[in-house]
Structure 1
Amino acid sequence: MTAMRKYLLALMCLQLPVLAHAERPSPASVAAPVNQPERYARRCQSQASQRTVKPQGTMLWGTRRSWDTEKVADERSSVLVSVGLEPLQSADGQVKALQLEGGRLVPASITALAPRAPTGTGIIGTVLQGTASDGKPVEVAICGAEPSPEDPGMVWYRIEAWNAVAQDWENPCVALNRVPDPRALALSGVWDASGAHHDVPGKFTFACENGALTKCVNWGYKPWARRDGQALADFHQACTRMARADYCGNGRSHTHEDTALDIYDRLGVLARTTESSAGWELALASFEAAWAPDGATCLARTRDGRALETILRECPNRFRTGAALDLGEGDRCTVSRADASPTTALLRNQSYGREGP
C-alpha cells in the first residue's frame, strides 16, 4: 500500500459522523404498536430518506446511540450491540439457526466441508433477536448480502432493526454523507461498553460500516484471519482502541474529526510511512502511542491535544510518569503502563500534533 493510499484510508475512516436525518418523534408521540405478523411483513421494504442526528463523537459499533433523538446518550451506548444466531424469529422454513464462518453467515446445516451456497441463500429476510446496550431486546432483519470484492469470504449485510419508538424498520447504522446507506459486517463475539471483546457462544456483532470495528477490518486486521501463523484477533482489538484513541481502555474516545494517522504493526499488515506525499507530511507527524488490546501501553502525547494529565486522571494508577522510554525508530514514550511493558504493544501510530483544550 502506498503512503498516499494508506493516509487517505486512515483519514477517510476516522472522520466523525456528519449526519442528516429528519426529526424523530418525541417519546410523547410514540407510534401505536404494530402486531408481529404486520411487523415482519414490513421488514426489508424500501425506506424514505434517513433521519439524521447531530455528530456525537467517534463510534465503536457504528450504530445509533438511541432511537430517541431528544435523548442525550453516552458514546458507549447503542441501539444494537449483539445478535443471537438462534432461535430465529422469522426465517425460511428449512433454516433453524445460523452460524458464522469467518466473515460470513450461513445456515447452520451448511458446513465448511460442504459446497458453498450462493451468498445469502436461505438467510435473506431472516429476523434475529438482538440486544441493545441497555439490555433491551431488539429484532434485526437481514435484508441483503453482498460479497466483498476484495475477499469473497467476507460479506457485507444490509440490515434493519425494529425501532419501537417509531414502530418501523430502520437501518441502525449511522449514515455519513459519503456512506448514506451503510452496511454491516458479521463479527464473532460481542463488545461491551468499555470496548472489550468477549467470546460469547451463539452471539455475534453486526459491525456497521462507519464504526471502528469495521474500519479495522478494512485496514487488514480481520479478527477471523491469520498472518504468518499468528491470529489477528488481538491486532483487531488493539486497532479498535487506536482508531478511537481509547488510551485508558474504558471505551472513551479522544480524537477529532479529520484526524490523519500513520499506522504500523509488528506483523507488517501496515508498515510505517517513510515518504511524504500530498496528504501526509512526515515533518509534521510524530509518535503518539503504542497499543495493546486493552488500550495504550504508552503515550508520547494525546491525539486531540489535551494535556497528558487529563488521561492520567481519567484512569488513575494505569500509567506511570518518569524517564522517557525509547521504543526505537524515533518512537519515544512520555508515560507508560504500570502493569505492562510498552515493548509488548501490537500496533503503534503517528499523527499530527495539534493544540487542544
Structure 2
Amino acid sequence: MTAMKKWVLAWVCLSFSLMAHAGNPRSGGGSPPAPGTERYERRCQSRAPQRTVKPQGTLLWGTRRDWDAGKAADERSSVLVSASLEPLRQADAQVKGLKLDGGRLVAVSTSGSGLPGGRGVVGAVLQGKAGDGKPVEVAICGAEPSAEDPGMVWYRIETWNALAQEWENPCVALDRVPDPRALAIQGVWDASGARQDVPGQLTFACENGALTKCIRWGYKPWEHRDGQSLAALHQACTRMARADYCGNGRSHTRQETAIDMYDRLGVLARTTESSAEWDVARASFEAAWAPDGATCLARTRDGRALETVLQECPGRFSADAVLDLGEGDRCAVRRVDLSPAAALLRNQSYGGPSGL
C-alpha cells in the first residue's frame, strides 16, 4: 500500500470516529435536546457505572434535591414531587391513563376499563412536576409486587434529566439501599411537608424517604384500622420520622437515627424489651405528633436546645407548664393551638433531657 493510500485510509477512519462522537448525546458538550420519539426509546436502559449520591439527611420524598450535584439546594426541594395519572406522555396504544388501587397502579384502557395483571403500567411515561414547578417526565421501568403485602407494588422509575440529557433514577441511593425503588401514593406533598389530595395526581415515594418508611412501619394511608383511615397517622408519621417539629418541612435529625413509635390506634405499640436494634435503657420520650407537626416536646432528637425550635416557629409552642401524657411521657413545651388529645402518635429516641 502506498503512502498516499495509507493517508487516505487514516483520514476516513478519523472522520467516522469524530462523527460518531459528535452524534453521541452522552459525550458532553452542547448536545441538542433529544427528539421525543428517540428520547422515549432511551428510557429504562440500565447504565454503568451509576451516579453516586451521598446521603442528604432525612428526606421526605426520598428524591434528589437537584440534578446538579454541585449546587447547594434546600432540603425542601426535589427533582420530582408529583405525577399525573392521565393523559400519559407515552403508553401502549390501548392505554388511556393510570389509576391507583390501594398500593398499586392499574392501567386504564381507552374503553375505560382496567387492564388485568398489571398490563400497560410498565413502559408508561407520566407527566410529572419538580419542586420548582417545572415539568419533568417520569418513566415506569419495572414493577415488583411487595413480598410483605401482595396489594402493594414497588416501581422502578426514571425521570428525564434535562441537564445531562439522560433518563435517571430520581431516588437518592444510600449504602443499605443502593438502587432504590418507589411506591405510588395518592396525594401530593408540598415543600412544607403538607399533603394535598389533588385529583389525578400521585406521588412516587422513594425507598429512602419518610413517606415510604412510614408505610413500611405500618401506616398505609389507603388502609383503615377500627373503621378509621390511616391517612392522618401516616401524615403524622412523616413529621415524626423527620423530626419536623414546626410542621414547616425542616428536619431536626440525622440519617439512620434510631426511634421507637407508638400510636393511639394500636398499629404500633411501645417497645418494652431491649434487642440488638433498640436499647430501652437508653431511650426516653421525645415528642407527640399530629399531621401538621409536634403537639408537644420533651427535647430535640439531634441535641439542639429547645429554644432553637421555639425561635424557628414563634408563637406555636408554650413553655408555661410541664404536660404529663401518662406512661412517663412528659412534655416541656406544648402547642398553644391544639389540645393534647390531638396527638396521634408519640416517639422515643436516644438522648437525655434538654431543658429550656
Same structural fold, with TM-score higher than 0.5 when normalized by the shorter chain: yes
Indicate the residue corresponding to 1:3 in structure 2: none
Indicate the residue corresponding to 1:107 in structure 2: 107
Describe the SS at the equivalent of 1:263: strand
Q: TM-score, normalised by structure 1?
A: 0.88
1:269 maps to a residue whose letter is V
- Separation (CA, whole Å) in 2 of partners of 1:300 and 1:261: 14
User: Identity of aligned pairs, percent?
Assistant: 74
2:157 matches 1:126: no
Taking only aligned residues, the RMSD between alpha carbons, in angstroms, comes to 1.9
| Residues 209-253 of structure 1 deviation map (CA, whole Å, 9 limit, x = unaligned) | 110000000000000000111100000000000000000000000
- Separation (CA, whole Å) in 1 of partners of 2:49 and 2:330: 48
Q: Per chain length, whose mean CA-contact separation is higher, i.e. which structure has more relative contact order (CA < 8 Å, sep 6+)?
A: 1
Indicate the residue corresponding to 2:9 in structure 1: none
- Separation (CA, whole Å) in 1 of partners of 2:188 and 2:256: 28
Shift in Å, 1:50: 1.9
2:152 maps to a residue whose letter is M
Q: TM-score, normalised by structure 2?
A: 0.88
Shift in Å, 1:149: 1.3
1:277 maps to a residue whose letter is S
Describe the SS at the equivalent of 1:169: strand
2:247 maps to a residue whose letter is G
Which stretch shows the higher mean deviation, 32-41 or 138-147? 32-41
Describe the SS at the equivalent of 2:44: coil
Confirm or deny: 8 A CA contact 1:185 1:208 kept in the other structure. Answer: yes
Describe the SS at the equivalent of 1:166: coil
Describe the SS at the equivalent of 2:321: strand
- Alpha carbons of structure 1 residues 254 and 43: separation in structure 2 relative to 1, 3 Å: same
- 2:331 is aligned, of 315, 330, 333, to 333
- Alpha carbons of structure 1 residues 116 and 38: separation in structure 2 relative to 1, 3 Å: closer
Indicate the residue corresponding to 1:140 in structure 2: 138
Indicate the residue corresponding to 2:14 in structure 1: none
- Separation (CA, whole Å) in 2 of partners of 1:309 and 1:115: 54
Confirm or deny: 8 A CA contact 2:323 2:331 kept in the other structure. Answer: yes
Shift in Å, 1:107: 1.5
- Separation (CA, whole Å) in 2 of partners of 1:169 and 1:276: 45
Unpaired segments ≥5 residues, structure 1: 1-27
Confirm or deny: 8 A CA contact 1:30 1:166 kept in the other structure. Answer: no
- Alpha carbons of structure 1 residues 353 and 31: separation in structure 2 relative to 1, 3 Å: farther
Shift in Å, 1:342: 2.1
- Separation (CA, whole Å) in 1 of partners of 2:30 and 2:304: 41
Shift in Å, 1:31: 4.2
Indicate the residue corresponding to 1:60 in structure 2: 60
- Separation (CA, whole Å) in 1 of partners of 2:237 and 2:29: 41
1:295 maps to a residue whose letter is G
- 2:321 is aligned, of 323, 339, 342, to 323
Confirm or deny: 8 A CA contact 2:316 2:336 kept in the other structure. Answer: yes
- 2:189 is aligned, of 188, 191, 194, to 191
- 1:233 is aligned, of 212, 231, 243, to 231
Confirm or deny: 8 A CA contact 1:158 1:183 kept in the other structure. Answer: yes
Instruction: Trace 1:250-289 onto structure 2 (pairs within 5 A).
Output: 250-289=248-287
- Separation (CA, whole Å) in 2 of partners of 1:41 and 1:277: 50
Indicate the residue corresponding to 1:75 in structure 2: 75
Unpaired segments ≥5 residues, structure 2: 1-27
The number of aligned residues is: 327
Shift in Å, 1:53: 3.1
Instruction: Trace 1:337-348 onto structure 2 (pairs within 5 A).
Output: 337-348=335-346
Shift in Å, 1:206: 0.3
2:293 matches 1:305: no
Indicate the residue corresponding to 2:18 in structure 1: none
